[in-house]
């Protein structure tokens, strides 16, 4: 196996494959990156069993093939070598006993590799039920829901986002049992049949980073235990979570007794100040007091060790019953960061019942729910 390639081109693709490689894998060969060279393309593969990424670099003026073959190299070490090479191009050659020689200008490395035949095969996923979606739309819906997934592996199903793909819409919902985020976006060319997938939050985080700020077309291929997402020359495989996801629709209140509209920058700043003290205490809780008669909204927090904070927060509209409710300020700040409008409407029922946060525009289907904290 021998080839010469443009270093910047290689690094650009290598960085994406490295997202799938973990140093803490229980399968030693998966701490390596697989390189497979044919007369048509160079294929880079990385996997940690949860996600796998395969990138195909076609043979062109930047990639010159002398002989084909395959090898697995220690990923972190190999990546650092390539990034620190001096030249514009480098040559790569596998010699006897899987020893690999890398040369660029006056720099030469020899590193030990492994037999690529021992590397696990990627799953075969049919594209018979595949459909395409705008990368911008998909990244948007990931960022608006993924943060609400759980990190608790004892309820593994909640570590994922549940997606409902329909011919005319995509609905995503995530909850960690303390908060919930649900977003629905209209689609023009969704799947012909409805598809229900639960995708791990960590997989979605990496997928959103790969999509980036551009708007590539994403091809979605649902499988039985894995899903495949194809973006240009990159194939991203994610395992799917299996189990009964809670019926989140019944958690969302349909009635309200109090509502208030806040400008997000105003409320975010007030929460930031209140959190300075609440983070120092054992109970990270702030209290929102709404007085509909006096038309005031007050945010307060205290720490037994440090002191307390109290602040009047400006708002646009307040109506309904007086209310005092306590909650985790970090959940609220996450919800405000995910919001897609400049202001939000909060709707409450009772001090110990979950409350919801909606955009101030009715044509945007986005609801977030936060469970209050009992302080007595």
Instruction: Decide which of 247, 278, 313 is a domain's last residue.
Output: 247
Position 119 scores a pLDDT of 96
- 316: domain CATH number is 3.70.10.10
Asked whether residue 11 is domain-assigned, the answer is yes
Contact criterion met (CB below 8 Å) for 229 and 238: yes
Domain count, the chain: 3
Q: Indicate whether 44 belongs to any domain.
A: yes
Cα–Cα distance for residue pair 2/69, rounded to 1 Å: 8
In which domain, by residue range, is 223 found? Answer: 129-247
List pLDDT tens digits, range 61-82: 999 999 999 999 999 999 999 9
For the stretch 252-276, pLDDT in tens is 999 999 999 999 999 999 999 988 8
Structural domain includes residue 76: yes
* Contact of 329 with 337, CB cutoff 8 Å: no
- On the question of pLDDT at 246 being above 80, the answer is yes
pLDDT tens per residue, range 281-309: 677 899 999 999 999 999 998 887 788 88
Quote the CA–CA distance of 188 and 137 in Å, as a whole number.
12
> Both 230 and 287 in a single domain?
no
Residue 254: partners with Cβ closer than 8 Å, 6 or more residues away: none
Count CB atoms within 10 A of the CB of residue 225: 10
Question: If 0-12 CB within 10 Å is exposed, 13-18 middle and 19+ buried, where does residue 254 land?
Answer: exposed
SS3 84: helix
28 class by beta-carbon count within 10 Å (0-12 exposed, 13-18 middle, 19+ buried): exposed
Measured CA to CA, the distance from residue 100 to residue 92 in angstroms comes to: 7
Is the CA virtual torsion 358, 356, 275, 292 positive or negative? positive
* 172, part of any domain: yes
Both 316 and 206 in one domain: the answer is no
Q: Give the per-residue pLDDT at 214.
A: 87
pTM, to two decimals: 0.91
Domain endpoint, select from 94, 116, 138: 116
- Residue 303 pLDDT: 80
Residues 202 and 242 in one domain: yes
């Amino acid at each position: 196996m021998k080839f010469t390639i443009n270093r910047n081109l290689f690094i650009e693709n290598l960085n994406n494959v490295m997202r799938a490689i973990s140093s803490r894998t229980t399968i030693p060969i998966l701490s390596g990156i697989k390189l497979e060279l044919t007369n048509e393309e160079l294929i880079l593969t990385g996997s940690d069993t949860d996600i796998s990424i395969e990138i195909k670099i076609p043979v062109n003026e930047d990639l010159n093939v002398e002989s084909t073959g395959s090898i697995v190299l220690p990923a972190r070490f190999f990546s650092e070598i390539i990034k620190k090479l001096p030249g514009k191009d480098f040559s790569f050659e596998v010699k006897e006993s899987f020893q690999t020689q890398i040369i660029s200008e006056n720099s030469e490395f020899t590193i030990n590799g492994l037999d690529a035949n021992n590397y696990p095969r990627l799953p075969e996923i049919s594209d018979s039920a595949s459909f395409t979606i705008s990368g911008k739309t998909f990244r948007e819906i990931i960022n608006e829901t993924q943060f609400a997934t759980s990190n608790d592996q004892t309820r593994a199903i909640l570590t994922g986002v549940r997606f409902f793909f329909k011919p005319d819409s995509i609905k995503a919902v995530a909850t960690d049992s303390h908060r919930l985020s649900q977003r629905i976006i209209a689609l023009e060319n969704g799947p012909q049949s409805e598809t229900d997938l639960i995708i791990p939050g960590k997989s979605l985080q990496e997928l959103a980073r790969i999509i980036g700020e551009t708007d590539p077309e994403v091809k979605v291929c649902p499988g039985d235990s894995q899903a495949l997402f194809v973006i240009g020359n990159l194939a991203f495989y994610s395992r799917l979570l299996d189990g009964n996801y809670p019926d989140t629709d019944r958690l969302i209140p349909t009635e309200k007794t109090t509502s208030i509209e806040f400008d997000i920058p105003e409320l975010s700043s007030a929460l930031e100040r209140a959190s300075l003290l609440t983070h120092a205490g054992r109970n990270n809780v702030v209290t929102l007091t709404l007085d509909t008669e006096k038309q005031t909204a007050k945010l307060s927090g205290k720490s037994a060790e440090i002191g307390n904070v109290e602040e009047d927060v400006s708002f646009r509209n307040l109506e309904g019953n007086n209310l005092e409710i306590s909650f985790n300020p970090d959940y609220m700040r996450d919800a405000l960061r995910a919001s897609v409008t400049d202001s939000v409407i909060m709707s409450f029922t009772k001090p110990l019942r979950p409350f919801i946060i909606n955009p101030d525009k009715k044509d945007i289907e986005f609801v977030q729910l936060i469970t209050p904290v009992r302080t007595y």
